[in-house]
A and B are shown apart, each in its own frame.
Chain A
Amino acid sequence: EVQLAESGGGLVQPGRSLRLSCAASGFNFADYAMHWVRQAPGKGLEWVSGISWDSSTIGYADSVKGRVTISRDNAKNSLYLQMNSLSPEDTALYYCAKEIRPLFYYYGMDVWGQGTTVAVSS
Chain B
Amino acid sequence: QSALTQPRSVSGSPGQSVTISCTGSSGDVGGFHYVSWYQQHPVKAPKLIIFDVNKRPSGVPDRFSGSKSGNTASLIISGLQADDEADYFCSSYAGNKIFVFGSGTKVNVL
Q: Are B46 and A45 in contact (CB under 8 A)?
A: yes
From A15-23, A24-32, A107-115, give the one contacting chain B.
A107-115
Q: Are B51 and A114 in contact (CB under 8 A)?
A: no
With most chain A CB atoms within 10 A of its CB, the pick from B45, B57, B89, B104 is B45
Q: Are B51 and A108 in contact (CB under 8 A)?
A: yes
A86-122 interface code vs B (CB 8 A; 1 in, 0 out): 0000000001010010000111111111110000000
B110 CB, nearest partner CB in chain A, Å: 23
Which chain B residue has the least Cβ–Cβ distance from A108? B36
Residues in chain A near residue B46, CB distance under 8 A: 37, 45, 95, 97, 109, 112
- Please tell me the size bucket of the interface on B: 20 to 34
CB contact list, B81-100 vs A, under 8 A: 87, 89, 91, 93, 96-100
* C-alpha gap A58/B100 in the complex (Å): 15
Q: Are A107 and B52 in contact (CB under 8 A)?
A: yes
B5 CB, nearest partner CB in chain A, Å: 12
* C-alpha gap A4/B93 in the complex (Å): 22
* C-alpha gap A58/B98 in the complex (Å): 9
- Decide if B11 is an interface residue (CB 8 Å cutoff): no
* C-alpha gap A120/B100 in the complex (Å): 24
Residues of B participating in the A interface, judged by any CB pair closer than 8 Å: 1, 3, 32, 34, 36, 38, 40, 45-48, 51-52, 57, 87, 89, 91, 93, 96-104
